[in-house]
Chain A
């Protein structure tokens, strides 16, 4: 019996040993995004950005080649979690990055963090992971969900808007967005709709737009990411609300939706206002290079999803470089990432105690560029070096 146990232990040790050797040859990064369903265009944009980032760094981190494994979350939390489990257990990756959707990130975070690996969110920033569920191995290259709408609330105050109608999808991020704008907007919120979200999301907003119009609000604030954006803008245009109910958005109008909106002749978005931590025209060396190369390689403006995905690879590179490719040195890599010492597309920023970026937020306007493309232009900084409000709930 004892002999059997010993041989089993030896066998186990051997297997572990070979795995360690294999893993040490290269830096393995798992990237979870949405590659199917109507949201696949976001995933495609992120995949393009990740590939561009790897091209920019010659596919090398800390002297080791990078192996990238893309995985699809199918826009569903349970599928995202399964894909995460596979990356962590079967592929044994060193970093898991990506995550467009807050509900997918919330379902998957435990699988990554419990296995002692780094988790880099390249988009989702639900309030729990910034607050009570913050973790030493979690980093974000995006923002906490509330911050961008908080910047919008400030923008609305500056524009002197007194009453607002609010619409968002009914899921984790949608609620955070509404909470964010409510936190800073000083006027009155005269109506609010949370619409059905997920695989059979509500895309026909006739009833809600009729209510918004009847409410007599001075503006409408919406958060509709992905394909819902196009649907919402079209109906906003068809309902003829441009003049009576000006549009203020977060994460709705982006480089993915703008070409289609232009194709569909949705002129009512031109001149509409939004807020974000970044814009294609943000004049930072790293960003100029990223945007120019992205446009040359893929033919369109990168979306903010792409920008964040690009940054996630650069953040990982800064960590692996700092320890010269010694992937067992978790403490070293963590310390390196905390410094945010890499050429970010948003310019200089720092990390808070909860590993969420402390960064500027800008108000932007939708404009037509000199080639006739529709894009966005920065107006001004609305929130400077802004830290999310949940950081105080994080005990790190």
Chain B
């Protein structure tokens, strides 16, 4: 019994981590590589969820809706970059924060006007709404397995894109010296627009994957963006590998904290005190980890090699 729940919580942690990775990958591209602080990243995550919910209603197929909503979210990101973000690259970080915070308010209100305040549920097809028995006695929701699979595929795709393609080379080059790459005849503006759109698509994908579990709702992006920043700080700003590993670490710590902390506390204190303390401490765990890392290894666990 004990080992089976341990295994299930491991999968749950992995699934949360994968989701955080999809979000932090986009943030790593914009923050780490383009040096742009994008608080509105969470708004794109929300937009992805709402696009997907609407398309699911119209097409009747969740899978088709996801395939259509990904380019749609990328397009939204592209437009956002052209309209607002592009003008901010030369400004300092405070301006980025102010402008993108304004964007959050605008996008939240726009969603409120278009979709109403109540949020949207996404119905899943039956084969995803079921459970699979992985090992005897270990039953896991199919959809959560799908999240893990899609996240791993996206991670592999990003790794290949950034490290082993010409486009990835240009992105990395543009990040370390924008002027020089521009002088070599590369259209750096379009390149950055594309990268921003890619980040938007990844955030949108995360929104689409979580919405069938928690529903699409206003402010869902602001709820998760802080955790996403924690991930990239722990992983090392600008490092895709760091974002991946840190996302998994955070996902596992958060899940295990929620699962087992009260039992652990009960060993050393009264069960009443444990019941009060455990939820408070488990909500703080990832921030405690971030504080420790900032104190002893401010560059993060896996900082990029060339910075």
Contacts and interface: CB of A to CB of B under 8 A. Distances in A.
Given A170-B279, A210-B12, A263 B121 contact: yes
B195 interface: no
A35 B118 CA distance: 11
B117 A44 contact: yes
Interface stretch (B166-174, B213-221, B234-242): B213-221
B119 A206 contact: no
Contacts of B119: 38, 41, 227, 230, 260
A291 to B, nearest CB: 20
Question: Which secondary structure dominates where chain B touches chain A?
Answer: helix
Contacts, number: 126
A202 B283 CA distance: 9
Nearest to A215: B5
Interface residues of A, number: 41
A116 interface: no
Given A200-B223, A214-B1, A264-B122, A207 B258 contact: yes
A36 B217 CA distance: 11
Interface in B239-280: 255-256, 258-259, 262, 275, 279-280
B218 A38 contact: yes
A115 interface: no
Nearest to B143: A238
A192 B118 contact: no
Nearest to A227: B217
B206 interface: no
A207 B259 contact: yes
B15 interface: yes
A239 to B, nearest CB: 6
Nearest to A232: B214
B215 A40 contact: no
B215 A230 contact: yes
B4 interface: yes
A193 B279 contact: yes
B16 interface: yes
B9 A234 contact: no
A80 B4 CA distance: 45
Contacts of A201: 223
B131 interface: yes
A256 interface: yes
Interface string A231-249: 1001101111000000000
A17 interface: no
Interface in B136-182: 139, 141, 143-144
Contacts of B190: none
Contacts of A210: 5, 8-9, 12, 259
A204 B206 CA distance: 14
A238 B279 contact: no
A174 to B, nearest CB: 10
B130 interface: yes
Interface in A198-221: 199-204, 206-208, 210-211, 214
Nearest to A228: B214
Interface string A177-209: 000000000000000111110011111101110
20 contacts: A36-B117, A41-B118, A41-B119, A170-B280, A192-B262, A194-B279, A200-B223, A200-B224, A200-B226, A201-B223, A203-B220, A206-B15, A208-B259, A210-B12, A214-B1, A214-B5, A234-B213, A235-B213, A260-B119, A263-B121
Given A38-B218, A207-B256, A238-B213, 19 more contacts: A35-B117, A37-B218, A192-B262, A204-B210, A204-B214, A206-B12, A206-B16, A207-B12, A207-B13, A227-B217, A230-B119, A234-B214, A235-B213, A240-B141, A260-B118, A260-B119, A260-B121, A264-B123, A265-B123
Interface of B: 1, 4-5, 8-9, 12-13, 15-16, 112, 116-124, 129-131, 139, 141, 143-144, 210, 212-215, 217-220, 222-224, 226, 255-256, 258-259, 262, 275, 279-280, 283
